[in-house]
Each structure stands twice: as C-alpha cells, then as structure tokens.
Amino acid sequence: FDDTSLQLQPGHVELEKYRYLYFAVTLTAYLLIICCNSVVIFVIYSSKQLHEPMYIFIAALLFNSLIGTAALYPKLLVDFLSEIQVTSLSACLFQAYLIYSYAAAEFTLLSAMAYDRYVSICKPLQYASLIKMSTVRKILFFSWLIPFTANGIGIILTYQLQICGLKMNRVYCNNYSIVKLSCGNILANNAYGLFVFILVVFAPLMFIIFSYVRILKVSLRTCFPHLIVFINYSVTSCFEVIGSRFEENVPHLFAMIMSIENLLIPPLVNPVMYGMKLQEILNSIKTFIWKQRRKISF
C-alpha cells in the first residue's frame, strides 16, 4: 500500500478568480450550521420538558449533521485557499468514511424517528411501553453502529486495492470514485457496496415509506417537518449513489451541485425546520434567550 496523493478536481469552477468569495460563503454557511444545530441540541439537552424520545431523536439527527459537515467543510475551506486541491489516500478514505457513515446514519436515524411517530400516532396507548428510554438508547446505539461499521468494512476493502489513478473529478472524496481509480478486481467492492446500500439506505427507506403511509392516514400536521427533511435528503442521496456511477451522462455542474446538496442544505435547514415548526422547541429557545438577556442585563 502506497499512501499516494490524490488530486481533487471540482470541475470547471473558476476557483482562482473567486476563491475568496467561495471561502467566505462556505465559512459563513459552516458557522451557521454549527451555531444553529448546536443551539437546538443544547436547548433539548438543558430543557427537562424536552427529554422525550422525539426530541432526543431530533438532537441525535442534528448531532449527526455536525459529523457530516465536519467531514466536508474544513477540507473544502482549505482547498479554496490552496493552489492545488490534493489529499493523501488515507485522508481521502477517512473523509469518505465519515461522509458515507453520516449519510447512512441519517437514514437510520430518520427511520428511528419514523418508528417513534408511527407508534405515537397509530398506537398511542402502547407508546409508553414500546418507546422507553432504554429502548431509545438502544435504537440510537444501533442507528450509528450499523452505518459506521458497515461503511468501515467497505473502506477497508477499498484500502486494500491497488490505486493506479491520481485524479478525481469530485469536490470531496467519494469511495466509489476511489474504487474506480483502481486497476485491480473491484467485484468484491461493488458487491459489498450494493449490500451496504440495501442495508442502510433501501431498507430504512422502505420502512420510512411504510411508516408514513400508515401515519398519513392518521395525521399529517405533526410529521410535516420530518417528511420534508426525509424527501429532500432521500432524493439527493439516491441521486448521488446513482449519479456517481453514471456521471459521464449527467451535466457536470448539475451533478456537482446535487452531490453536495445533502451536505449543505439539511444541516442548515434541519434546526430551522424543527426548531421553528415544533412549538415546544420554539418555546424553549425563546425561554433560553430571555434568560440569557436577563443575565446580561444584570
């Protein structure tokens, strides 16, 4: 194994001309993501009335967003200020591991939230017995364990390949793009990639659809924020999986935008969507801000 440096090629973006503008916009977006997600997580953590399964799942989803953006933004900011966008193969694989694990965990966490809403709305009398805090902890544990373990095995398989190419036409490191740089047999990688897709994307997707078909018969208003987040994230994630394999037939600019949309929009929109739509969180945020203003005034 030779830890060769790989060159990332974002495409036909005029990086040299607008590098500082891109850096400023990206840095602002990253700081907003950190602040917005952290505020809602802290409010849920510090407010005892929000220590319920639904809000714990929301906090977990927002924390997962911080993991995903931490895998993308710091390296992206460095690339904007660099003459050549290069990275070591080890660092590239690690970034791909974090991004893939974040993306998969998003689906497993969304399916956990769908189950919570399904039981709450469709089986309200059984909610207390089915959704205990011990159950919530187990669900969260496996919601992260399965994606991080499954993707870790996939990265190990990629790590063992002989890499012959040095350039990737990507904004960030993508496991399949690294696999395509190999000059060896990638059958095992493709087969395992399909298995992981079924395990952490397709299966949760089917479960969420099933849950919401049942839920929508009962209530739409309570689940509207989660449904919007799920639709936005699933569409862009499926496009990324399919588009990365047929990128030659997709307009480059459109493919590039769609490939990072699920790392840009949900982490920024989720805290606003949940924080503003769910009255309990909104009231807790207002109370927290009011208390802080009183402390400052004194």
Name the one residue in this structure whose structure tokens are 């956990």.
112
31 to each of 64, 103, 106, 277, 285, how far by Cα in Å?
Answer: 16, 20, 21, 22, 19
The span from the CA of 158 to the CA of 120, in Å, is: 42
SS (H, E, C) 84-145: CCEEEHHHHHHHHHHHHHHHHHHHHHHHHHHHHHHHHHHCHHHHHHHCCHHHHHHHHHHHHH
What lies within 8 Å, CB to CB, of 124 at 6+ separation is: none
pLDDT single digits (tens) 127-180: 888 999 999 999 999 999 999 999 999 999 998 888 887 777 777 888 888 888
Q: What residues of the chain score a pLDDT lower than 70?
A: 1-16, 219-223, 243-248, 250, 262, 273-278, 296-298
pLDDT of residue 12: 46
CA–CA dist 111, 142 (Å, integer) = 12
Provide the whole-model pTM: 0.76
- What are the tens digits of pLDDT across the range 176-192? 888 888 888 888 988 99
CATH dotted code for 5-297: 1.20.1070.10
AA identity, residue 45: Y
Q: Which amino acid is at 255?
A: A
